[in-house]
């Protein structure tokens, strides 16, 4: 097959023009089950002796198109689509860990990932150690004889801390661990964890991959062996599989991923530079700024800094609430990667599963604000932030 650039693959994917009727847009197979021509064919498919579809929880042509396209973008062998981003997180962990195993995780994570690791996994006898992966010896110091996996996201939500994927990948390989990276914030267009030896890559497809704010979904990319294990165990039996309609919507969204990410990154850079110069802002966390420690990874690990900014405002928690409430163009909502600019307060929203002590230890202060820069005119976004600052 001809090797295309990523922005071409976002549109066409590996199975381009294979529709038997020549449809330009791949059809939506909105069906729960698939019929067999006879009992022998049904038996052969259940036995794995004949390719084909059986039941949408086990596979669907629309879902398969999405899986193949994202796997190709991540340069991984295969992928499994899930009902939510947390479905991708839980499937990537529960498929490979059991009672008595040990997971090493970044101390700063998306709030629900943290809640799963800190509150749910211990109920099933899985031990978790949270570490600061920016520290040189943190992973080695956390290693135990029963360690089986290392899990992180980069940039980290919401502090925008950038982790060294090469270091994580090498550590995992040297110690026989499965490495899992959440690549939601940058997408395969800006960062390819496989290039650094990462085994499993996950996305909340709700965000940039879909890009229109009308789907919740996830996807896990990995080797054929890892994906087969995920599909035949956790996804099959727990059932967090994606609906065909949601897969169809994400396939549609992927066609514009390249141009959307260009705009998100360019506008976020402008907004970050504006915020860094504002007298009511204490700190701006955005890897596109030379002042950010993660800036050194641009051009090496990351092709771009993404569309999410975090910043600390002067004053109290009440000032932060007043600022957010005063925005008019920016939408007060969680999530990211939508056409709309979204603004939220992690301490009271996405990271509320943390205790205050856990939150502060992860670098999430009372005054931290997260901004997902959308596709509006950047001058309008900046003007909205400027007028909101006047309210405190």
Q: What is the pLDDT of residues 73-124, one digit of tens each?
A: 999 999 999 999 999 999 999 999 999 999 999 998 988 999 999 999 999 9
For the question of residue 57 being annotated catalytic, the response is: yes
* pLDDT value, residue 1: 53
Phi, psi of 306 (to 5 degrees): 85, -175
- Quick check: is 207 catalytic? yes
pLDDT tens per residue, range 192-235: 999 999 999 999 999 999 999 999 999 999 999 999 999 999 99
Judge contact between 267 and 378, C-beta under 8 A: yes
With residues binned 3-state (H G I as helix, E B as strand, rest as coil), the percentages for the chain, rounded to 5, are: 40, 15, 45
Whole-prediction pTM value?
0.94
Q: How many CA atoms, within 13 angstroms, populate the side-chain half-sphere of residue 286?
A: 31
Annotation says 110 is catalytic: yes
Q: Is the pLDDT of residue 167 over 80?
A: yes
Among residues 69, 192, 194, 207, which one is catalytic? 207
Res 9 pLDDT > 80: yes
Q: Which one of 6, 78, 101, 182 is the catalytic residue?
A: 182
The predicted pLDDT at position 159 comes to: 86
Domains detected in the chain: 6-254 (3.40.640.10), 257-389 (3.90.1150.10)
Active site residue 55: no
CB 35, CB 53: distance < 8 Å: no
Q: 57, 170, 252, 280: which one is catalytic? A: 57
How many whole angstroms separate alpha carbon 81 and alpha carbon 217? 7
Q: Which residue out of 29, 78, 107, 110 is catalytically annotated?
A: 110
């Amino acid at each position: 097959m001809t090797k295309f650039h990523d922005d071409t693959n976002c549109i066409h994917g590996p199975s381009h023009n294979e529709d038997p009727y020549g449809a330009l847009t791949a059809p939506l197979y909105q069906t729960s089950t698939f019929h067999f021509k006879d009992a022998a064919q049904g038996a052969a498919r259940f036995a794995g002796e004949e390719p084909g579809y059986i039941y949408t929880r086990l596979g669907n042509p629309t879902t398969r198109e999405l899986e193949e396209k994202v796997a190709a973008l991540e340069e991984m062998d295969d992928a499994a689509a899930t009902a939510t981003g947390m479905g991708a997180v839980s499937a990537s962990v529960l498929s490979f860990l059991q009672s008595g195993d040990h997971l090493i995780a970044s101390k700063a994570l998306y709030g629900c990932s943290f809640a799963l690791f800190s509150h749910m996994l211990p109920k099933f006898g899985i031990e978790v150690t949270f570490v600061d992966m920016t520290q040189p010896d943190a992973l080695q110091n956390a290693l135990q004889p029963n360690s089986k996996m290392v899990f992180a996201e980069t940039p980290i939500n919401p502090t925008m801390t950038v982790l060294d994927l090469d270091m994580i990948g090498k550590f995992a390989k040297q110690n026989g661990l499965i490495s899992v990276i959440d690549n939601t914030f940058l997408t395969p267009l800006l960062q390819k964890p496989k290039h650094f030896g990462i085994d499993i890559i996950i996305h909340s497809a709700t965000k940039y991959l879909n890009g229109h704010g009308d789907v919740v979904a996830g996807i896990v990319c990995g080797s054929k062996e890892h994906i087969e294990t995920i599909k035949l165990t956790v996804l099959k039996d727990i059932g967090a599989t994606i609906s065909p309609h949601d897969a169809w919507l994400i396939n549609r969204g992927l066609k514009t991923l390249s141009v959307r990410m260009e705009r998100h990154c360019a506008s976020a850079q402008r907004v970050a530079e504006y915020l860094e110069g504002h007298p009511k802002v204490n700190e701006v966390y955005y890897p596109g700024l030379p002042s950010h420690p993660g800036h050194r990874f641009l051009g090496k690990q990351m092709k771009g800094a993404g569309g999410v900014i975090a910043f600390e405002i002067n004053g109290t928690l009440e000032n932060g609430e007043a600022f957010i409430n005063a925005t008019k163009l920016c939408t007060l909502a969680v999530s990211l990667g939508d056409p709309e600019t979204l603004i939220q307060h992690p301490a009271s929203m996405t990271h509320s599963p943390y205790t205050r002590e856990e939150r502060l230890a992860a670098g999430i202060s009372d005054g931290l604000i997260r901004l997902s820069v959308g596709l509006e005119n950047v001058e309008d976004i900046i003007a909205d932030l400027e007028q909101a600052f006047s309210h405190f």
